Structure 1
């Protein structure tokens, strides 16, 4: 394994997007890449399980490397929980994705940092040896503790990997003083760690060729290192590593008052969270995960997700009065969509292992039987609602409606029988297709039906599927990087 560590003297310098682009570039060269984001400050996380999350930038980096995001790849998070602009903001401290308390930034570095650092090192050392390249997204605390050398601390964590480490300094040229940033960081590095620096990359560079020549000469003279690339600003690509949005955010349809508010019921055994990536990637959607201990309220739609333990989660919903809350919501004109076992929970009664039946949520007139570890199979079909003949793909979840009949007033959603049902009012949806929202046109037609109820303008429907759009962004990032930097040079040792 070879490790590449990206360092920068400033926050928001582009480390996260650079590692995302680099991960995809090296992966498509046939290398097995694992990105590691040791510690991150975030405002919004990406859920990887019912009780754990990582930063959205860590998720992007994992997808770029074509692996699944896990908390081992992003062991420490400081998640902002104070209103924007507060002078002394507070953070929820998450260790391997799970919250352990609320701290101020300085209190974290004073009281918890020495505990978190060994955990970071432990997760780093536990990475499987099957990978060819480790991409280390460094963190910094010198903004808050100016007398300590955060960069040396990062190198300290990297020690013990028993693999060559190549350090790259990334300089943000958005603001004046790029050379001052570089020189200040270089002075802080210990002589030992300077030996690991392969070279410098200037990000957001907008200078001309003579400026490049002059800058490269300065770096070579003072640092005895080469400039490895001058990366120009991204053009015609809306990419924010802290967001799953894949559309341009500066659009009137994405203003808060024009967004749809969708709530996913946070069932204890919800799975998989990736089902909702496409909705999280819609800039016109505010997606919330709501625990049944909270009052439901009146969002534009409620989603009852697939669960691996339908009966246990049904008991949880009954405990907090959710059958009554959902019935009131539907009676007021609300829309409910159930997926897999979530669709089964919408039924009138649900079968128990004993053969008896238990009252379910009572939103559909059917009885149902939950499934646990049924095999999933890829399927392709066409829609009937909300727009006919749209091609759809996904994984089938077994449909366990026991007494469906056309006279029930429910219509088949898809050309494939029993893959989905919708009532005449089109506000109760039962779906047995995992990955439904990944189907871009269908998802947009469904969202537009909700927007029409609110009197909002429609979204364009001629779009690619979410995974295809995500892949296109990752490929575009890698292509952009390769215009200005040769990724293979980053694998070489410092001179």
Structure 2
């Protein structure tokens, strides 16, 4: 296998974004390249073309690499359900739910087997693999059974580049400390260092580069300036505010859209297309005092509908939302948010609360009841709008990831979509209240533009043309690749990939 692994001195140093950049850089050089992350912990998932679930970041990286995402790019996905337990998704399907201790003690052999198989498949189908690590490779209390960093580099037998975030401060200590805590064998794999998120005059860091190279004996292959003018999806909720909220305050001509900031929010990248609209401002609201008078409210997906609905009720946001809806407000509930709109939630299988038969009253905005089942639905779907509230003729495409089965309790309930002759979702108040299991609803350009234009008309501001999201996304990958390639010694990296087995 030919490839490279990007590891970090800690979490959120930019590994995911730099893997995305390197995938596009190599793809532009006509290399058939694939991303890989052995184990991802995120509630932000991506459904592959065959209806399987992987980490969202690997789906984005596959797009950047100009290839189709598959489960082999992220064989293990951990989706937190609480502070103590996660759902384990293995090769795109739910394997089990367990605590961190149970996972560590019992899953390790299965994890190693899965990683080996995934790497074998990728090696047979791609020229290069760009591997992303997780956290730090020197978590010394966990390293005897780790599945994400140096063990993966060993299994793939690839060199490693260490990424450090200079914005945090202490960059020299973080690099040197990480290298010193590695075993001698692992330290030999580290063939490059990247200093990320540099602000200011990069020439002032020349002495810092020289010192690092002399002290560590490892080449600094790039010092990447901080940027905020390039839009690519982040990996998880650590970057949600940076990736979605525009700098500056909303002006009178902009749309104010509130997103309820659920503790276990999932698939927040459903909202990314709204960030591509220049007049849309997203506000993440945790308290009722922050609610204000928005043009629309979005209740996003969640990994624990019961838990997050309880959170809304404890904060009084349930009453605020009901009053807002009764006053003619615009509300969209996505997946778990759709379930919350209803009258009752019943955990038949105990899959949401671990209590079989547990019940909870919903927001009672829509005539719905939701039952939680054992088997998760993960499919890509297409449907037609069931009502003519929007100037949109195209099909709506998206994907579904949910355990719940939601049914209307009123005979005259209007569905949102028709999917293969079955009703999907709910539509009320002339299209002002929508509930749907369709993730990626806002990725449908024509529908998004029509929905936003209704908000613009209500506010009394000009309507706007359709924004082509695919073009925006691809331009983002190109801009990111241009930015990183300007400051990265790409030829050194390619030579390292090609010569590793010979020199190793």
CA radius of gyration, larger in = 1
Report if aligned partners of 2:137, 2:150 keep a CA contact under 8 Å in 1: no
* Counterpart among 121, 134, 138 of residue 133 in structure 2: 138
Q: Which residue of 2 aligns with 1:417?
A: none
| 3-state SS in 2 of match to 1:126 | helix
* Counterpart among 196, 201, 219 of residue 203 in structure 1: 196
* Counterpart among 248, 273, 284 of residue 281 in structure 1: 273
Report if aligned partners of 2:134, 2:148 keep a CA contact under 8 Å in 1: no
Distance 1:93 1:477, change over 3 A: same
Q: CA deviation at 1:190?
A: 2.9
Q: CA deviation at 1:156?
A: 3.5
| 3-state SS in 1 of match to 2:17 | helix
* Counterpart among 396, 412, 417 of residue 338 in structure 1: 417
Q: CA deviation at 1:243?
A: 6.2
Q: Which residue of 1 aligns with 2:409?
A: 325
* Uncovered stretches (5+) of structure 2, i.e. residues with no partner: 251-255, 276-281, 283-297, 302-333, 347-361, 369-379, 384-404, 435-439
Q: Which residue of 2 aligns with 1:94?
A: 89
Distance 1:426 1:35, change over 3 A: closer
Q: Which residue of 2 aligns with 1:177?
A: 170
Q: CA deviation at 1:118?
A: 2.4
Report if aligned partners of 1:142, 1:150 keep a CA contact under 8 Å in 2: no
* Counterpart among 478, 494, 500 of residue 475 in structure 1: 478
* Counterpart among 443, 450, 470 of residue 445 in structure 1: 450
Q: Which residue of 2 aligns with 1:127?
A: 122
Report if aligned partners of 2:162, 2:190 keep a CA contact under 8 Å in 1: yes
Q: Deviations over 1:430-458 (max 9, x none)?
A: xxxxx996553542213444x589x7787
Distance 1:165 1:130, change over 3 A: same
* Uncovered stretches (5+) of structure 1, i.e. residues with no partner: 83-87, 260-272, 308-319, 331-335, 347-360, 364-421, 430-434
Q: Deviations over 1:12-37 (max 9, x none)?
A: 11000000011111112211110001
Distance 1:436 1:191, change over 3 A: closer
Q: Which residue of 2 aligns with 1:186?
A: 179
CA–CA distance in structure 1, aligned partners of residues 462 and 107 of structure 2: 46
Report if aligned partners of 2:8, 2:137 keep a CA contact under 8 Å in 1: no
Which of the two has greater helix per residue?
A: 2
CA–CA distance in structure 2, aligned partners of residues 44 and 457 of structure 1: 35
List aligned pairs for 1:12-411, cutoff 5 A: 12-48=12-48, 52-82=52-82, 88-140=83-135, 145-146=140-141, 148=143, 154-159=149-154, 161=156, 165-206=158-199, 208-209=201-202, 211-242=204-235, 248=245, 253-256=256-259, 281-282=273-274, 285=298, 286=300, 288-289=334-335, 305-306=381-382, 322=407, 324-325=408-409, 327-330=411-414, 336-338=415-417, 341=420, 344-346=421-423
Q: CA deviation at 1:280?
A: 6.2
Residue-pair matches, total = 373
Report if aligned partners of 1:60, 1:241 keep a CA contact under 8 Å in 2: no
Distance 1:43 1:156, change over 3 A: closer
CA–CA distance in structure 2, aligned partners of residues 339 and 486 of structure 1: 51
* Alignment RMSD (CA, Å): 4.4
| 3-state SS in 1 of match to 2:107 | helix
